[in-house]
Amino acid sequence: MSPEATPFRPAKSKPDKGMAKARPAGHKAEQRLAAQAQAGDPAAMRRLLEELSIPIYKFGRRFCRNEEDAQDVMQESLAALVRTLPRWRGDSALSTWAYSVARNTCGRMRRRRAGAPQRLESLEDEATNSAALRIASPGLDPAREFERTSLREALDAALAALPAAQREVVVLRDVEGLSTREVATALGLAEEAVKSRLHRGRLALRRALAAERGEKVRAPRGNCPDTARMLSLHLEGELDAATCRRLSAHVEQCSDCKHACTTLRRTLTACARLGEAAVPAATRAAIRRAIKAVIEADTAAAAD
């Protein structure tokens, strides 16, 4: 039986991570790089900054909605990392800490720009970022590619429309693939608060994408549970095995609830694909220049 047909598989030894993805550098590899950089290895420092720069840039780009600001967020975050790395003891992942710095930097930029018109354009609207959300899809026909592009644009607009508190947890958890614990650490929140915001944000995205497709999101009817919310709870390990079995049996008999599960999983899959998108070559070149500037500034400061 397919996962779509049995959406409430009982959790095993740890919560189902849903659509979360592994990041390029694991925690152990990150620790090794950090230790080498702390010992004065310039190559390790550059590699560490390169590992962190892309996810931090993407995070800033989705929140600041502005290419220049996103690069400023990334450069400021990396500069702060270089300054504080000698004091880092590995209590939490450097990548998690870097997201926290990026979030605070975005907040400061929003406050500075208070009163200015908010920019809500799709990332694909600007020539410099026309490939920012593009995923290689060899063999797709033009109609299918158009559908994927439309979905990405709708998802980007739906993310932009979320309240900031929900957007940041959805972006970190479902787009960037951090665990719930890592999101809580990055945002300075309790895990329960992260999960509460995450569930509301996921359901709001599901409604927005369903509307884009011309589908109706019905309220639970009769004895039906709020199946989409229950699935989100399940993905965070918040349902016991007995509840999962009851829900799975119900979904098998209820087309409305099965549809609710399908549309939420479709939403989370779209979020994961958004996080996998490649950064354009021009932006990567700008990021390399920013890394060089950060390292040169640190070297000059050390020489003074």
Q: How far is CA 243 from CA 123, 230, 237, in A?
A: 40, 10, 12
Best CA proximity match to 181, nearest among 195, 170, 197? 195
The predicted-structure confidence for 108-126, as pLDDT tens digits, reads as follows: 777 776 655 443 333 233 3
Lowest-confidence pick of 39-53, 89-103, 131-145, 240-254? 131-145
Q: What is the CATH number of domain 25-112?
A: 1.10.1740.10
How far is residue 284 CA from its own chain's centroid?
19
The pLDDT of residue 165: 92
Between 209 and 67, name the one with better pLDDT: 209
Burial label for 44, CB within 10 Å (0-12, 13-18, 19+), is: middle
In the block, residue with structure tokens 């993805």: 21
Percent of the chain past pLDDT 70, that is, above it, reads 79
Lowest-confidence pick of 143-152, 154-163, 179-188? 143-152
- Write a three-state SS string for 233-293: HHHCCCCCHHHHHHHHHHHHHCHHHHHHHHHHHHHHHHHHHHHHCCCCHHHHHHHHHHHHH
Confidence of residue 63 (pLDDT cuts 50, 70, 90): confident
Between 178 and 68, name the one with better pLDDT: 178
Report the pLDDT averaged over residues 212-232. Answer: 86
Between 241 and 63, name the one with better pLDDT: 241
Between 14 and 211, name the one with better pLDDT: 211
